[in-house]
Structure 1
Amino acid sequence: MSLHEDAVLVLKKYEHQEELRQAYLDHLATHPDGMWKACGAGHLTASALVIDPTRGRVLLTLHKKLQMWLQMGGHCEPGDDTVAAAALREGTEESGIAGLTLLPGGPVRLDRHPIPAPCNWHLDVQYAAVAPADAVEAISDESLDLRWFAYDEVAGVADESVVRLMEATRARLAELA
């Protein structure tokens, strides 16, 4: 199965944000290259909000280019077998934490946001990843800083997209409890 086919299956199973979910599916139906950065009409990306539920905290990266506190994430790569694997790879690379595990149930939410040309749009498929108890983070080349924030501190440091991702992650955690 190709990464494109996996993305379609993941999105078909996703039961929230119906209008946005359909926009993602329409994009993939009309853009065979819609998984890749080279797609000028926009492309899917994968991200992972790294959480430590036992301590009620989340790890955010101060993105080097955007200078904003964000979740870990980025472009899909040819070696990614699934969208979930891409999110886990990005989460691991950008946090430096080995042993992350995605929360069950698939993506936590979707977020479509504009980016500068030539790409125009990121259609982000957002997951949540649980850090192991002994996690030690390490700053990547894409980051100016990494910092753990209590859940209730996120709204004070991050934009609305990260706040919504945090809220959706907390709702998923409550469902799993």
Structure 2
Amino acid sequence: MTLHDDAARVLDRWSAPDEGQQELRLAYLDHLATHPAGMWKACPGAHLTASALVIDPAGERVLLTLHRKLKMWLQMGGHCERQDATLEDAALREAREESGIGTGLALLPGGPVLLDRHSTPCAWHLDVQYAALAPADAVETISDESLDLRWFAYDEVPRVADASVVRLLERTRALL
């Protein structure tokens, strides 16, 4: 099974939590059906990406990265790579790379938390968003892709991050 096939399977089976998410789910599936290279950065106009919100449920904190290019506090995430066998693999790889938490991160079961379509300097990102639980002994390390990396209390997130991160956190908390 290719990453493209996995993405189509995941999105086909995913139960969207509301009508807006259902519209995005169908748009992502249409994108994959019409773009064989729809998973890759080289796909013109838009491509799927994968991200993961790293949370510490015991401490009610979330780890955000100050993105080097976008200069925004965001969840960990980015482009899918050829070695990613699944969307979950891509989201977990991005979370590990950008958080520096090499072991112990675990995605919440049940598949994606939300979908988010947003414009970036390279193209439209059709982001498939997951949530990852950090281990109790997690030690974060800033990556080359970040200007900063910081734990924020859940109630601090609306003051530092945009609405998409707030929605992702709210949906993640509802699933915990």
**Bucket of the pairwise TM-score, normalised by the shorter protein:** over 0.9
**Does residue 1:39 correspond to 2:43, yes or no?**
yes
1:120 aligns with 2:128: no
Partner of residue 21 from structure 1, selected from 25, 29, 39: 25
Q: Residue in 1 aligned with 2:135?
A: 132
Q: 2:79 aligns with which of 75, 87, 105?
A: 75
Alignment-derived partner of residue 167 in structure 1: 170
C-alpha RMSD of the superposition: 0.7
Is 2:57 aligned against 1:53? yes
TM-score normalised by the chain length of structure 2: 0.96
Alpha-carbon distance between aligned partners in 2 of 1:64 and 1:9, rounded to the nearest angstrom? 32
Aligned residues: 171
TM-score calculated relative to the size of structure 1: 0.95
2:114 equivalent among 109, 112, 121:
109
The one-letter amino acid of 2:46's match is: G
Once the 2 structures are TM-superposed, how far is the Cα of residue 120 of structure 1 from its aligned partner? Answer: 2.4
The one-letter amino acid of 2:10's match is V
Using the alignment, how far apart are the partners of 1:75 and 1:89 within structure 2?
Answer: 10
Query: Gapped runs of 5+ residues in structure 1?
Result: none
Give ranges in structure 2 of 5+ residues lacking alignment.
none
Q: Where does structure 1 differ by over 3 angstroms across 4 or more consecutive aligned residues?
A: none
State the 1:11 CA deviation: 0.3
CA distance in 2, matches of 1:120, 1:126: 17
